[in-house]
Copies of this chain bind each other. A is one copy, B any other.
Amino acid sequence: MVKQVIGVNRRTTGSVGVRQVAKAAGVSTATVSRALNQPHQVSEELRKHVTSVAAELNYIPDPAARALSSQKTFRIGALIPTIANSIYSRFIEALQRRLRESGYSLVIANYDFDEALEMEEARALVESGIDALILAGEHRTPDLYELLATRRIPYLLISIYLPDSPHRCVGYDNRAGAETMARHILELGHREIGVIEGPSGVSDRARLRTRGIRDALNAFDLELPAHRLTSRSFSVRNGREGLSQLLDGAPEITAVICGNDVLAIGALMEAQSRGLNVPEDLSICGFDGLDIAQEMVPQIATMHVPTAQMGLKAAESLVTMLSGEEAPHAVLIETRLVPGGSTAPPKKP
């Protein structure tokens, strides 16, 4: 039996690290680290020297080592309600791009509007190591907020604007937006109005939108009776089914306001398949301003939400927070009414 050689490093990756760079540049590891991360702490010439040596050796810092040592992962988690339809895609794109610019990477998890799954995914994200978390809306199990508090993980709510909430947010006013849309319908002359709301059981944004619609109706001395309201999760199929149900229970309606554009597309399809003319026989409108809804025939009237801008602002807020500075407590994203061929005054009877 030949004895194994002792003293050989058992697990050396062989790649260049701070120590290699330090030796090659003739400085200490501390100087290398500082030259790369706190440039102002190192003299001009030395910094240039170190930087060039590092570049020459093709040095790439090990993210795990950096994370362990500095207690920062440079990773940000985002819990997205759904990625099935493209509601959040522009938001994610913009968010990711802006975070990348500041050296952060984005980890997305989605939970399909399932509260328990959201908690589970949150735990997984936290345990996989993130510096901050993005959440949609305010309402969720308190356990999640507790988890974040315990682990001291900063977070940010999106898609909702709550200046009085204890939580920081970057979002828009769902209630006011929906109210604007409903007023638009009312001002066209509609009085018999149906609503296909979003998943109000699990989404406070959906609830706020319905509230906005009610506010507008009330201002016109109208109510929203139960048989003119149906609640569905966001999908085209559900939009179709929603309109079916409304037309069965309230055939007198001349307009239907949908919780978002995906539901509105579904409603439009159902109307077409029933031979109803939109907007002559029925006006339809949505919320979100999805590209695809803008290309439908007729174009779907909607409240446009600049989600890319929201992504940008959210990223900036997070970066600010994580750098220790004070970020604005609530950032308002402006929505705007986009009229479309899917709405018109009701037919005179």
Which residues does A use to contact B, with CB under 8 Å? 11, 13, 60, 62-65, 67-68, 71, 73-75, 83-86, 89-90, 92-93, 96, 100, 105-110, 112, 121, 124-125, 127-129, 235-237, 240, 262, 265-266, 269, 272-273, 291-292, 295-297
Contact = CB atoms under 8 A, between A and B. Distances in A.
A121 B269 CA distance: 38
A264 to B, nearest CB: 12
Instruction: List the 6 closest A-B pairs by CB distance, nearest first.
Output: A64-B67, A63-B129, A64-B68, A236-B295, A105-B128, A272-B297
Given A64-B129, A291-B236, A124 B110 contact: no
Given A125-B105, A297-B272, A68 B62 contact: yes
Contacts of A63: 67, 73, 127-129
A273 B292 contact: no
A110 B86 contact: no
A184 B75 CA distance: 48
Given A100-B124, A105-B107, A240-B295, A83 B75 contact: no
A13 B60 CA distance: 27
Q: What is the count of identical protomers in the complex?
A: 2
Given A73-B64, A105-B125, A297-B273, A292 B236 contact: yes
Given A63-B127, A67-B67, A105-B107, 6 more contacts: A60-B127, A63-B128, A84-B86, A106-B107, A237-B295, A265-B292
A119 to B, nearest CB: 14
A295 to B, nearest CB: 4
Nearest to A62: B68
Contacts of A124: 100, 105
Given A86-B86, A110-B93, A295-B236, A71 B13 contact: yes
A125 B63 CA distance: 11
B291 A237 contact: yes
Given A240-B295, A266-B295, A296-B269, A96 B68 contact: no
28 contacts: A11-B71, A62-B68, A63-B73, A63-B127, A64-B64, A64-B65, A64-B129, A65-B68, A67-B68, A68-B68, A74-B128, A83-B83, A83-B89, A83-B93, A85-B86, A85-B292, A92-B110, A93-B112, A100-B121, A100-B124, A105-B109, A106-B108, A235-B291, A236-B291, A236-B295, A262-B292, A265-B292, A269-B295
Residue picked from A90, A235, A262, A273, most chain B C-beta under 10 Å: A273
A96 B111 CA distance: 11
A154 to B, nearest CB: 16
A86 B71 CA distance: 36
Contacts of A73: 63-64
A161 B115 CA distance: 37
A100 B117 CA distance: 12
